[in-house]
């Protein structure tokens, strides 16, 4: 598998890095109907450090599909990025999952899709994992992505203030959210918080409210009826059972999809958030769905649980 390190500049000048994995020439025509798969990491991850995402890349290239693993501006927790100014000079900016605003993912995905278009790829799939899945759906619901033919949302969390407040075990979510609102009201939106829910990590007060605020801007149940592309949602049965961020979400997505929507859901038996031990089952389900989509079939993917 040939790997080329690549980079793009988003419309606001932010430099992002990635790796384009090309299938071996002898593989031939893609078996899954996609020429390229763009893979978007989750919270605090990156394009090179996830064995899970690298496995997905290897499976894609084995089927004859190029795979582009990329960073968004939410990569790692706190880091520094280069910003190219309109006059050609460069500055730096602190980015990372602690500082990101999910809405800005549209700039990132737009830049990466443009790179694939420029390389000649015209049938593109976007696969996002965790928060990357939320970004994939959010971006596609808000603007056209040239050449993109399918969306695959792998374990997107349910970013719903009302749902989490009512169902989160213990006081962590209510306390973290109240603390974020207090800091914002005090004029300290960029103050770093050590939150406990939904996972322990550091994030600014403004960043926490952006993701988990009362406005529910990234609640996918409010976005699925705006999707025009064939879309597959996947979840692991273990994460659905164990985490309030996923419990009941597959059923809710099916109930909320618009009539005639090209939306499918699948739950992978035994799967945790990274599909430990069942990553092959996940990719088998994805490839079955892509095959059904090519034949005009949609709906629930069978034989996975």
Q: Based on the domain organization, do 70 and 186 belong to the same domain?
A: no
Please give the residue that has the higher pLDDT: either 100 or 304: 100
Q: Does 299 reside within a domain?
A: no
Please give the residue that has the higher pLDDT: either 279 or 33: 279
Q: Based on the domain organization, do 198 and 238 belong to the same domain?
A: no
pLDDT in tens, 163-195: 999 999 889 999 999 999 999 999 999 999 999
pLDDT of residue 302: 44
Domain termination residue (choose one: 149, 182, 211) = 211
Indicate whether 1 pLDDT > 70.
no
Q: Based on the domain organization, do 121 and 182 belong to the same domain?
A: no
Q: Based on the domain organization, do 152 and 186 belong to the same domain?
A: no
pLDDT of residue 110: 98
- Which CA distances in Å does 196 have to 151, 254, 277? 30, 30, 27
Query: What whole-number distance in Å separates Cα of residue 297 and Cα of residue 189?
Result: 47
Q: Does 302 reside within a domain?
A: no
Q: Based on the domain organization, do 142 and 48 belong to the same domain?
A: yes
Q: Based on the domain organization, do 55 and 191 belong to the same domain?
A: no
pLDDT of residue 260: 67
Indicate whether 294 pLDDT > 60.
no
Q: Does 222 reside within a domain?
A: yes
Q: Based on the domain organization, do 102 and 126 belong to the same domain?
A: yes
Q: Based on the domain organization, do 236 and 286 belong to the same domain?
A: yes
Q: What confidence category does residue 303 fall into, taking pLDDT thresholds of 50, 70 and 90?
A: very low
Question: What is the separation of C-alpha 187 from the centre of its chain, rounded to a whole number of angstroms?
Answer: 31
Q: Does 124 reside within a domain?
A: yes
Q: Based on the domain organization, do 81 and 198 belong to the same domain?
A: no
pLDDT in tens, 46-99: 999 999 999 998 999 998 999 999 999 999 999 999 999 999 999 999 999 999
Q: Based on the domain organization, do 80 and 198 belong to the same domain?
A: no
Q: Based on the domain organization, do 267 and 239 belong to the same domain?
A: yes
Count of structural domains, the chain: 2
pLDDT of residue 107: 98
pLDDT of residue 299: 46
Q: Does 277 reside within a domain?
A: yes
Domain termination residue (choose one: 179, 211, 243) = 211
Beta-carbon contacts of residue 98 (< 8 Å; ≥ 6 apart)? 77, 78, 192, 201, 202, 203, 204, 207
pLDDT in tens, 249-292: 999 999 988 766 789 999 999 999 999 999 999 999 999 999 87
Indicate whether 160 pLDDT > 70.
yes
pLDDT of residue 199: 87
Domain span holding position 86: 2-159+218-294
Q: Which among 151, 168, 292, 155 is positioned nearest to 226, based on CA atoms?
A: 151
Q: What confidence category does residue 20 fall into, taking pLDDT thresholds of 50, 70 and 90?
A: very high
Q: Does 300 reside within a domain?
A: no
pLDDT in tens, 215-236: 999 999 999 999 999 999 999 9
Q: Does 165 reside within a domain?
A: no
Structure tokens at 272: 């945790």
* CATH code, 45: 3.40.50.1820
Q: Does 137 reside within a domain?
A: yes
Q: Based on the domain organization, do 40 and 87 belong to the same domain?
A: yes
């Amino acid at each position: 598998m040939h790997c080329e390190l690549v980079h793009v500049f988003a419309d606001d000048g932010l430099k992002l890095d990635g790796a384009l994995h090309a299938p071996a020439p002898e593989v031939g025509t893609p078996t899954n109907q996609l020429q390229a798969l763009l893979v978007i990491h989750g919270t605090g991850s990156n394009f090179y450090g996830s064995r899970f995402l690298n496995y997905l890349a290897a499976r894609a290239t084995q089927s004859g599909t190029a795979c582009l693993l990329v960073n968004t501006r939410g990569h790692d927790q706190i880091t520094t990025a280069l910003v190219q100014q309109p006059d050609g000079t460069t500055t730096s900016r602190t980015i990372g999952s602690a500082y990101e605003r999910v809405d800005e993912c549209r700039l990132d995905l737009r830049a990466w899709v443009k790179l694939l278009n420029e390389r000649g790829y015209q049938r593109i799939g976007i696969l996002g994992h965790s928060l990357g899945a939320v970004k994939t759906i959010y971006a596609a619901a808000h603007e056209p992505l040239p050449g993109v033919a399918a969306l695959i949302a792998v374990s997107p969390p349910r970013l719903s203030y009302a749902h989490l407040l009512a169902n989160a075990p213990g006081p962590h979510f209510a306390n973290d959210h109240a603390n974020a609102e207090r800091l914002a009201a005090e004029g300290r939106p960029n103050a770093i918080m050590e939150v406990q829910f939904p996972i322990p990590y550091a994030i600014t007060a403004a960043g926490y409210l952006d993701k988990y605020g009362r406005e529910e801007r990234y609640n996918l149940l409010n976005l699925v009826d705006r999707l025009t592309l064939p879309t597959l949602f996947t979840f692991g049965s273990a994460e659905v059972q164990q985490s309030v961020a996923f419990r009941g979400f597959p059923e809710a997505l099916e109930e909320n999809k618009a009539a005639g929507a090209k939306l499918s859901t699948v739950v992978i038996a035994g799967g945790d958030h990274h599909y430990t031990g069942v990553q092959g089952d996940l990719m088998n389900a994805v490839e079955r769905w892509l095959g059904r989509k090519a034949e005009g079939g949609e709906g629930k993917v069978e034989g996975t649980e």
